Chains A and B, each alone.
Chain A
């Protein structure tokens, strides 16, 4: 009888690992908290840097799923334990699952922009998040101000909830900079006469093609990049938003009115308390799970039979998540063979 793997979380990491594990001959059960698979990929319109439709990636992940894979949605793990060589898990539905290995692919949460009170998310009418903007693009809706007008000037705010000790997140979320550049271009493509400003501290264009996207934004679309973190935002009575930043490359404070503000929300760790308590897994100061070794066991935990893939161990791109999911599948296969 082939061995069983339990995957927690049916996002990019969980789905990709599931496809590989099935091909290797294992029985896979995926437990998913929400009502559908695909995780946050369901919420994105187009992906950086190639601007491929997110739905295309999701379709690909679904095609790779084995028809015999058991997918349990709308369910939460309430208890989990490693017993000798097996894993026993209970769900909130009363169901019990046992497996020979478990893959934690629970991903990340989006930073709650309300915590940056001074930015006025859900207080000011024309402040939205990058996730809200993706939703607008995905649903094919028109990008308008709260009063239904075409915005003439949009500001995209980098590092919302990242590199910010005040909200408890000192790390870089890695994907926001390039998302901000991608969204700036998308806005210009929708509304060519709209001025777009990106307010950044550092532009972290580290990966392949990212720098190209940045140059495209500047040269082709005349997106303006202003180095300075948003200090405070105020809503004018006409609904426009006044922002205060320092133009740090000029060493001068600056104010400007924007018709729409987009907050690039970072990644925060999911709720790992169950894993910490029952599996004795560690989390770092950033609250993400810590793998057994940063270089050589990046997809293994310190607990026997428990593995990681994706953003549960820190902010990652979708590309990196897929690579990691495949690595985790192989690591699990190696563990189950011995």
Chain B
């Protein structure tokens, strides 16, 4: 192949139809309070990890719903499970169990 000096840019558009939503389904089954989330960001504002990394539980829930699993998988390990988000959440989302559910669901689905 000739050296063009550039590569075809990667498409960053979410292709909703091609993304699998299995991980979200598995997580929602384990922790149905995820449906209560209104994307307010209270969790991320108080989160220790979010102060120093790009981690955001609010974003992670949306990424799950859109099937952007790769980003969820790289992101979820940043949580230190302190539980501050659960105190802050105005909607009663069981955030600690949500994060554990995401981790367990990832393990389960990666074995399949």
Contact = CB atoms under 8 A, between A and B. Distances in A.
Q: Do chains A and B make direct contact within the complex (CB under 8 angstroms)?
A: yes
Interface of A: 215, 218-219, 222, 224-225, 227, 247, 249-250, 252-257
Contacts of A219: 32, 35-36
Contact of B59 (A222, A224, A249, A254): A249
A227 B39 CA distance: 10
A256 B65 contact: no
Interface residues of B, number: 19
A218 B61 CA distance: 14
Interface of B: 12-17, 28, 32, 35-36, 38-39, 58-59, 62-63, 65-66, 68
A41 to B, nearest CB: 32
Contacts of A224: 65
A255 B28 CA distance: 23
A256 B36 contact: no
B63 A250 contact: yes
Contact of B66 (A222, A227, A247, A257): A247
A32 to B, nearest CB: 43
Contacts, number: 44
Interface core residue of A215, A227, A255 (most chain B CB under 10 Å) = A255
B62 A249 contact: yes
B16 A255 contact: yes
A218 B35 contact: yes
B14 A252 contact: yes
A255 B36 contact: no
Given A247-B66, A254-B15, A256-B16, 5 more contacts: A218-B36, A224-B65, A247-B14, A247-B62, A249-B62
Contacts of B59: 249-250
A147 to B, nearest CB: 19
Contact of B13 (A215, A225, A254): A254
A257 B14 CA distance: 12
Contact of B14 (A218, A227, A254): A254
B7 to A, nearest CB: 20
B17 to A, nearest CB: 5
B39 A249 contact: yes
Nearest to B14: A254
Contacts of B12: 252-253
Nearest to B39: A249
A256 B62 CA distance: 15
Nearest to B59: A250
A249 B34 CA distance: 16
B62 A250 contact: yes
13 contacts: A215-B36, A224-B65, A225-B39, A247-B14, A250-B59, A250-B62, A250-B63, A252-B12, A252-B14, A255-B16, A255-B17, A256-B16, A256-B17
A254 B14 CA distance: 4
